[in-house]
Chain A
Amino acid sequence: MLKCRVIPCLDVKDGRVVKGVNFVDLKDAGDPVESAIAYDAAGADELCFLDITASHENRGTILDVVQRTAEACFMPLTVGGGVRTTDDIRNLLLAGADKVSIMTAAVNNRDFVREAAEKFGSQCIVVAIDAKQVAADRWEIFTHGGRKPTGLDAIQYAKEVVALGAGEILLTSMDRDGTKSGFDITLTRAIADAVNVPLIASGGVGNLDHLVDGIQDGHATAVLAASIFHFGEFTIRQAKEHMKNAGLPVRMD
């Protein structure tokens, strides 16, 4: 039986982890590769790197991080942040990423999703959606960390990118991100039910019940969290035990 996935996400800037990882005794908490190795050993189902490097000249640092991670971890790796061209995608895949997440470039040019899926296969093209609620039943896509509205309806947009070849949706509620009050379940379910590809729920996880809710009520196939794992509040193992006790299929290998 296919298992629900638990995915820790690391923000990486100029090749270093931002916000640090405190859950184990790492020699260098700022080294993304060390964190990746620790999550691999802890039983994470996938790992996600979000590259938030701002300056153009440091953009190559993520490739080195991905390459060193792939040498040490034999688990699936998704990389997002600043992916603009098919060359960016190719370079990440060659470095050892399994999936690449596209956000702003897809908003600006929908055709980029089609081009990417045709070139590399839908299975490695994740479209990241940052959405904010703007009315009772309406969520809009925002870019630039939630600062820039696009006027696009999140549900329509999700359907559109899936039709163009996106193999997975990474959905973040900008209303919930950082609040620890749980996923926006209404939004998550609306999009999960509107598309026929897997959906990763993100934004707002503050406790282990939230992970269960995302899958049971939000209909997500995977859950992504950062701070609850990085700061050692919960281990991946605890998260999975909790999900298992709630009746969800999880991998305990």
Chain B
Amino acid sequence: MSVAIVDYGSGNLHSAHKAVERAAAEQGVRVIVTSDPDVVRGADRIVLPGVGAFADCRRGLDNVTGMVEALEESVIKGGKPFLGICVGMQLLASRGLEHGVAQGLNWIPGEVVEIKPASPDLKVPHMGWNTLEARRSHPLLKDIPVGENGLHAYFVHSYHLKTADPAHIVATTEYGGELTAMVGRDNIVGTQFHPEKSQKLGLALIANFLRWAP
């Protein structure tokens, strides 16, 4: 089995690569970092990382000729397991509102909006370790303790995805109101937090992704 990590000039690929590799080692999975749409088409699973501003990331993705088409083909038509991380998850939305309006992939309808905590004492970016509240069970959260006394995930973001359909929310996190922490439908899942930086929780989630048979 192979996992493609999509390289479109955005962010911390080295960490994502090493974390997936670590989780994959036991399962005999090959991990490929690639900007080649054909390699994405040939992979069994796909990870879309992303760090930075929504519009920049979207531009970066569009600049890799044929990549959006390869993703649509493999994930939407082909039903391959897909994991979006941070801005890679936000890109699943219909559109992002960071520094102007930019179109998303529209796989999880909704908008990426600025975080506005109810309390003025709460700083933005929402930065650091927070717990998850599961809205429904999901194979990627299997055997991961969630809730106030559960494991923590590492977040760093100023925007979050407000889904049009509440059923697409897998988990939230509390920060002066509810923020979307994880979304999913069918073979598609996305995390606002960084599993590759979330120690125990992160490696367990990635291992679950590699075993996932949606």
Contact = CB atoms under 8 A, between A and B. Distances in A.
Interface string B201-214: 11100000000000
Interface residues of A, number: 37
A96 B12 CA distance: 6
B152 A197 contact: no
A196 B123 contact: yes
Contacts, number: 107
Contact of B128 (A3, A67, A119): A3
Interface in A144-173: 167-168
Contact of A2 (B13, B175, B200): B175
A14 interface: no
Nearest to A71: B18
Interface in A224-253: 251, 253
Given A45-B129, A94-B14, A98-B12, A76 B154 contact: yes
Nearest to A199: B123
A15 to B, nearest CB: 18
Interface stretch (A23-31, A121-129, A134-142, A209-217): A121-129
Contacts of B11: 93
B158 A122 contact: yes
B91 to A, nearest CB: 14
Interface in B9-31: 11-15, 18-19, 22
Contact of A123 (B15, B125, B129, B151): B125
B106 interface: no
B180 interface: no
B199 interface: yes
A93 B158 CA distance: 19
Given A74-B19, A74-B196, A1 B131 contact: yes
Contacts of A253: 151-152, 199-201
Question: Which bracket fits the contact residues of B?
Answer: 35 or more
A122 B194 CA distance: 16
Interface string B146-158: 0010011011111
B197 interface: yes
B83 to A, nearest CB: 15
A121 B53 contact: yes
Contacts of B129: 2-3, 5, 45, 251
B191 interface: no
A6 B194 CA distance: 18
20 contacts: A2-B130, A2-B175, A3-B130, A3-B152, A45-B128, A67-B14, A71-B14, A74-B15, A74-B199, A74-B203, A75-B199, A93-B11, A93-B51, A95-B14, A96-B14, A99-B156, A123-B127, A123-B157, A196-B123, A253-B151
Closest 9 CB pairs of A and B: A121-B52, A96-B14, A251-B129, A123-B156, A251-B152, A198-B123, A3-B129, A2-B130, A71-B18
